[in-house]
Chain A
C-alpha cells in the first residue's frame, strides 16, 4: 500500500457555471420522476455529514401532498475545520441556486431559503446579486421560484436540520425529536428538502453530465467526489476535490508533513485516527465494506508529534460544552462532566481508571442524547482516550 499514488483529484465542483441557464431550462422540462431516478442511480449521498441518499430525500418529499413545501440550502457550515461551502457559494453560487430551483420543480415548491452562517455575512452581498440575476431569468422563462437568505446568529447547533427550522421560525435553535422527518414535517411544519451546499453543487454536476459520470467516481457505497478542507500540520492547507474511498494512508502521504501522528476526520464530532490505523481506514460512507470507512463533512485536520492530544480533546470538549443547546440532560451535563473529568485526571486528582468511567459516560450519551451533537461526543473522545492514554495522564 502506498507505493502507488492513489489520490484522484477531480474538478467538477469549481468548474465554471456558465451553462446554468441551459441546465435549469433542460432540467425543469424533464418530469420529476426522471430527475429523481437520475439522482438515485448516481447514488449521491448528502455531503452535510449524515450521508442520506439525496434522490430518496427528494422522492419522499415529492410524494407529500401539501400545497406548500420548501427547499432549504444548509449553509451553516459549522464543522470545525471546514470552509468548503463558503468557497462554493463565493465561486459557483449559480450552481447551488439552479439545483435548488430544480429541486423546487421536483417536489413542487416555489420557495427556497439559504440558511447562511452568521460569520459569513461578507458573502451576503454577492449572493444576493446572484439571486437577483437568477430570479430574473426564472421570470423570463416563466418559472416560479424565489430564494431568500436567512442569516444565522452564531449557534453551531443550528446546522442540525430541525434546530435550523426552529431558528428560522424565530425560536431558540433546539433540535426536535425525529421522526417526523423534514420530508413530511420541516420548516413551518411543511414538507421540506434540506440539503447541504455541496450536495446541491453535486446535483448540478449530475444534471449537467448525467448520473453515470458521477457514479463512475469513488467506490461502492461511496460514489462521486467530495471537497476536503485540509488543515493543521500540513504544508499545503486548502480545499481539494478528491474521489471518495481513498485510504487515509495515501491522504497522509500527500498532505502530511512527514511526522503525522493522527488525523481528525470530520471535525470535533468526527473520528480521530491514529497513525497505526491509517492503512485500514478509508474515507467514505459506512457500507458492508471490510475495514473502516469514515464519513466527513469535509474537515481533515492533521496533527504531528509535537501536538498534545490532551489539548486537542480539551478543546473539543470545551467546544461541545459551549455549543450543546442544553435541552437534554445527557448532553448538557455529560459534556461538563467529561471536561471536568479529564482535567481532574490530568491534575492527578483522579486516577487513570477514572478515564474508563468517562468512556462509559460517552456510551450513555451516545444512546440517550436527543441529537447528533450529544451522540457523537463519544467518537473523538474514545479514540483519543484509547489511543493516547498516556498523554491524558502525564
Chain B
C-alpha cells in the first residue's frame, strides 16, 4: 500500500500522473466508502488541496455522489478546497494561548502578511490559519509553521520567524 511518505515526491509529477496515483490509492482502499477519509487524506497529500475536479474524480471512482464527498470533506478542518501556500502558519487560540496573548500574535501575523485567516499571500508563500489547543499550553502561546511547533511566541518575534523562512 502506498504511504504518505511516498506521496511526498509528487511535486515533480504531471497532473496526469497525480490522477493515476490517486486511482491506485483508491484501488488500494478497495473503493470502500468507509475508507473515504483515508482516501481524502491521500488525495490532499497528492494535490495539496481538494479542488472540485479532484472531488469529481473521487466520486466517479468510488461511485458516490459529489455532494457526498463534499459534505464529508467540509466537515473536517484538515481538508482544504483552496490551494495552500508553501508555509501554513497556524496560531493556537485555545484558552491558555488566548489568555496569554495568542490574539495579539494573530493580529501581528495578519498585519505582517497582509492577509486574513483562511487566506494565502499572493506570492503563494504563506497561508494563515487558527487552530485549537495542541497541548503546548504549558508554553503558551503556541504557533505552528507546517509541522514545526513554536512555543512562547510574542508579536515582536513574528517578523524574525517569518523572515528566516523566506
Contact = CB atoms under 8 A, between A and B. Distances in A.
A81 B37 contact: no
Interface stretch (B9-17, B20-28, B107-115, B129-137): B129-137
Interface string B119-158: 0000000000001111111111000000100000000000
A264 B136 contact: no
Contacts of B38: 150-151
A383 to B, nearest CB: 14
Contacts of B33: 169-170
Interface string B18-55: 00000000000000111111101100000000000000
A365 B151 CA distance: 36
Interface of A is mostly: mixed
Contact of B77 (A155, A264, A312): A155
B96 interface: yes
Contact of A170 (B36, B95, B139): B36
A177 B50 CA distance: 31
Given A119-B131, A156-B132, A231-B96, A170 B34 contact: yes
A237 B34 contact: no
B36 A315 contact: no
A169 B34 contact: yes
Contact of A315 (B40, B95, B131, B140): B95
Nearest to A318: B93
Contacts of B99: 232, 303, 307-308, 311-312, 315
B98 A151 contact: no
Interface in A257-308: 264, 267-268, 301, 303, 307-308
Interface string B39-78: 0110000000000000000000000000000011001111
A315 B71 CA distance: 27
Given A77-B135, A315-B95, A231 B140 contact: yes
Nearest to A238: B138
Interface in A55-92: 77-78, 80-83, 86
Nearest to B35: A170
A237 to B, nearest CB: 3
A154 B77 contact: yes
Contacts of B87: none
A308 B147 CA distance: 32
Nearest to A153: B76
**Interface size class for chain B?**
20 to 34
B105 to A, nearest CB: 14
Contacts of B140: 231
A312 B34 contact: no
Nearest to A314: B98
Contacts of A153: 37, 40-41, 76-79
B98 A82 contact: no
A301 B138 contact: no
B78 A231 contact: no
A80 B78 contact: no
Among B99, B134, B147: residue with most chain A CB under 10 A = B99
Nearest to B74: A172
Contacts of B134: 119
Contact of A172 (B72, B78, B138): B72
Nearest to B72: A172
A118 interface: yes
Contact of A231 (B35, B131, B138): B138
Contacts of A308: 99
B95 A264 contact: yes
Contact of B135 (A83, A151, A268, A301): A83
A168 B76 CA distance: 13
Interface string A152-182: 0111100000000001111111000000000
Given A170-B33, A172-B71, A154 B93 contact: no
A172 B75 contact: yes
Interface of B: 32-38, 40-41, 71-72, 75-79, 93-96, 98-99, 131-140, 147
Given A151-B38, A312-B98, 20 more contacts: A80-B94, A81-B96, A83-B136, A122-B147, A153-B40, A153-B76, A153-B77, A170-B37, A170-B72, A171-B72, A173-B75, A231-B96, A231-B137, A238-B138, A267-B95, A311-B98, A319-B94, A319-B132, A322-B132, A323-B132
Interface of A: 77-78, 80-83, 86, 118-119, 121-122, 150-151, 153-156, 167-173, 188, 229-232, 237-238, 264, 267-268, 301, 303, 307-308, 311-312, 315-316, 318-319, 322-323, 325
List 7 A-B pairs, minimum CB-CB distance, nearest first.
A83-B135, A237-B138, A170-B36, A153-B76, A231-B137, A154-B77, A154-B78
22 contacts: A77-B135, A78-B132, A80-B137, A81-B95, A81-B96, A82-B133, A83-B138, A86-B135, A151-B41, A153-B37, A153-B77, A153-B79, A154-B78, A155-B75, A168-B34, A168-B37, A169-B34, A173-B75, A232-B95, A237-B139, A319-B94, A323-B132
